[in-house]
Amino acid sequence: MRGTQGKPYVSPHWVTDAWSAFTDDRVVRVAVDAVGGDNAPDEVVKGALAAAGPQLNVVLVGDEPRVRALLPPGAAHLSVVHAPDVIGPGEEPATAARTKTGSGIVVGLRMVQEGAADAFVSAGNTGAVVAASVLYVRRIPGVKRPAICTIMPAMPAPVAFLDVGANAECRPEFLRQFAIMGQAFAREVMGIPEPTIGLLSIGEEPSKGTPEVVEAHRLIADDERIAHFRGNVEGRDIMNRLVDVVVADGFTGNVCLKTIEGSARAILGALRATVMLNAKTKLGGLLIRKDLQVLKDALNPEEFGGALLVGMNAPVVIAHGNSRARGIAQAIRMGRRGAVSGLLPTIARELGARPEAV
Amino acid sequence: MRGTQGKPYVSPHWVTDAWSAFTDDRVVRVAVDAVGGDNAPDEVVKGALAAAGPQLNVVLVGDEPRVRALLPPGAAHLSVVHAPDVIGPGEEPATAARTKTGSGIVVGLRMVQEGAADAFVSAGNTGAVVAASVLYVRRIPGVKRPAICTIMPAMPAPVAFLDVGANAECRPEFLRQFAIMGQAFAREVMGIPEPTIGLLSIGEEPSKGTPEVVEAHRLIADDERIAHFRGNVEGRDIMNRLVDVVVADGFTGNVCLKTIEGSARAILGALRATVMLNAKTKLGGLLIRKDLQVLKDALNPEEFGGALLVGMNAPVVIAHGNSRARGIAQAIRMGRRGAVSGLLPTIARELGARPEAV
């Protein structure tokens, strides 16, 4: 998974084996929340079965009898840990993370804390996953705030985008750290050797944006840990892939991410309506259908599986709430990739090396 | 131009006569910046020629000899005022608005101030148009900040979206006023009788978002001038048209607007690449081409012409910097619509009636 600006066109086909393209011999244990998300436990179990293998042991953390009933006899590389409680989508994250100790989220993250698992995947309450991760897995020393780093299906190749929702408010120093963590993610997880970085704002000039963004621009430009800072980028530059990594505060990033998802769905929906207009357009639609599916797949967020909560002591993957088996399987593979890659040591080295004011 | 949620599907075709659908006998004079934007003066003059008529007198404000050379002999309902200076895209807006008194922007807005024109249109430096509008046209008493209100080509009918760039930082009280002005815009300019309002945030719950957004939610919910507040909306809800009016701060709004434009362009570009793949897909593309053009037109921001700077004593239309003749003509028609509609008196009545703390 690579392709920096200027490199030849990368077909959307690559996404169909985004994570399986990276192989090695290490055995990684990924704990998976089997109670969180819209389609638990059925689709979670199906996804786990698809992802599990000799190098990828999956621990399903959920309602044990229900999960076991869904497993075929003799399913290999899979185990089950009982944690029947659900943290609902409306629950206050910090409170739930502290009190719901029998939930898939808390039990799974405590397994990571205790060394019983190397990574964690959940399609449940995002705020609760972030809060419980901070509580149990803990931040890498030196990291002020973790950030949710997602992979956007940009053209012609994907873009790393963070923070897409962990921090509604961001001090300039947080944004600087996001740039460093995003660079590490692009390099170590996505395999882009020399990632370029952009700061999301409302104009190219360093003076454009809120005072926080203007100050963050200065901090990032002056930081020698960030190799290829391209300055401010605008909303249109995300999907057109002007840079490999886009940095934003969690409010703007989350709004933007959902805006892109909504726009893609609206446009593809209008395209479908256009094709269904009459016999002529239906025939036309039939002729492009197969190739159009490739485009639709490329725009499908499930193809990457989820977003990684960067800055923690272990990979925590936040999958879409409505993930089906394919999305869960990809999220589990993303968790494995996070664990075997150089992401964590790189962040620890770059953010932990120097004493910085909190 | 109407179609509230739940009403029957509105074809994208409607946009081709978005503004000409509104007709009346009043004569309106629109001053048009003929030096600003990427395609001045040629495309501006062409657009003015297309829009001018007995009820729409256009004053071209620019380099008089150059503009006159582009006018056919005996062009009716058109006049020219000399203002050869350009405020470039990189110039500091507030300074330029004060000092470049020979620019199309300042001369045109002073014509509005002095009653020589009823509305102003520019495709030039947006910041300078906003700053000069505040200086010369002035805010409606009671309006704390003007907002740039654009019309998004959402499905199945357009959505009003403000602020998309006038104010990078917004206090909760500004957002409350944007909700009131957006409601007036949807009702009076777009013709939606009972517009619904949404506040852009990162979750439906009133507790989601920055402290400013959470407080704005409370202010808007408690304000009896806002009839149909639907609470927070998310990025995906803009193009899917969950509400008629979306309110945001100018930083988030601008990033979002450009994100939607960029996503639409990226997806339509990928669709074009898909169609060009081989003989079969090319034939398919040929069969849907005509109907697909309707969709492309519906997504083209030029079809609405521009965004309206709401909160000023006269309609100021900010056209896309790269507008061609069609976009300029639609922007001029939007300016006329702004002048004859009940927009200004409604805002004056709703925001000027009560004493409010600054």
From A90, A155, A266, residue closest to B239, measured CB to CB: A266
Q: Residues B83-100: pLDDT tens digits?
A: 999 999 889 999 999 999
**Could you tell me the residue range of the domain that residue B76 belongs to?**
23-143+311-340
Residues B69 and B154 grouped into a single domain: no
Q: What is the CATH number of the domain that holds B262?
A: 3.40.718.10
3-state DSSP assignment of residue A11? coil
Task: Provide the number of structural domains found in chain B.
Answer: 2
Judged by average pLDDT, the poorest of A125-139, A202-216, B144-158 is B144-158
**For residue B5, is it within any domain?**
no
B chain contacts of residue A285, beta-carbon cutoff 8 Å: 284, 288
Per the structure block, which two tokens stand in for B144?
């704390």
Judged by average pLDDT, the poorest of A18-22, B193-197, B340-344, B353-357 is B353-357
- Contact residues for A343 (Cβ-Cβ < 8 A; gap 6+): A184, A185, A188, A189, A308, A310, A315
Counting one residue from chain A and one from chain B, the pairs whose CB atoms sit within 8 A come to: 194
Q: Residues B314-343: pLDDT tens digits?
A: 999 999 999 999 999 999 999 999 999 999
Residues B39 and B52 grouped into a single domain: yes
Q: How wide is the angle at C-alpha A69 spanned by C-alphas A333 and A327, nearest 5°?
A: 25
Predicted confidence at residue B18, as pLDDT, reads: 65
**For residue B115, is it within any domain?**
yes
CA distance A85 to A105: 9
**For residue B8, is it within any domain?**
no
CA distance A233 to A210: 14
Per the structure block, which two tokens stand in for A111?
């397994």
**For residue B12, is it within any domain?**
no
- Judged against a pLDDT cut of 70, whether residue A146 lies above it is answered with yes
The CA–CA distances, whole Å, from B156 to B7, B153, B200, B243, B253 equal 10, 8, 20, 12, 21
Q: What is the mean pLDDT of chain B?
A: 90
CB B139, CB B49: distance < 8 Å:
no
Strands A306-310 and A245-247: unpaired
B chain contacts of residue A169, beta-carbon cutoff 8 Å: 210-211
Q: Residues B52-83: pLDDT tens digits?
A: 999 999 999 999 999 999 999 989 999 999 99
Q: What is the DSSP string of A133-165?
A: IIIII-BPTT-SS-EEEEEE--SSS-EEEE-SS
Residues B290 and B225 grouped into a single domain: yes
A 10 A CB-CB count for A346 gives 18
pLDDT band with cut points at 50, 70 and 90 for residue A252 = very high
Residues B50 and B163 grouped into a single domain: no
pLDDT band with cut points at 50, 70 and 90 for residue A354 = low
DSSP β-bridge partners for residue A149: A308
Predicted confidence at residue B149, as pLDDT, reads: 98
Q: Residues A307-347: pLDDT tens digits?
A: 999 999 999 999 999 999 999 999 999 999 999 999 999 99
State the first-to-last Cα distance of chain B, in angstroms, to the nearest integer: 36
The CA–CA distances, whole Å, from A151 to A22, A186, A317, B158 equal 16, 9, 12, 30
Q: Closest approach of chain A CAs to the CA of B20, in angstroms?
A: 25
Per the structure block, which two tokens stand in for B179?
């909700």
Compare A10 and A110 and report the one with higher pLDDT: A110
- Judged against a pLDDT cut of 50, whether residue A155 lies above it is answered with yes
B chain contacts of residue A271, beta-carbon cutoff 8 Å: 271, 292, 295
**For residue B14, is it within any domain?**
no
Q: What is the mean pLDDT of chain A?
A: 90
Judged by average pLDDT, the poorest of A164-178, A197-211, B276-290, B315-329 is B276-290
Residues B294 and B318 grouped into a single domain: no
The CA–CA distances, whole Å, from A271 to A257, A259, B268 equal 21, 18, 10
Residues B266 and B330 grouped into a single domain: no
Residues B177 and B121 grouped into a single domain: no
Cβ–Cβ gap B256/A258 under 8 Å: no
Residues B80 and B115 grouped into a single domain: yes
Share of chain A above pLDDT 70, in %: 92
**For residue B6, is it within any domain?**
no
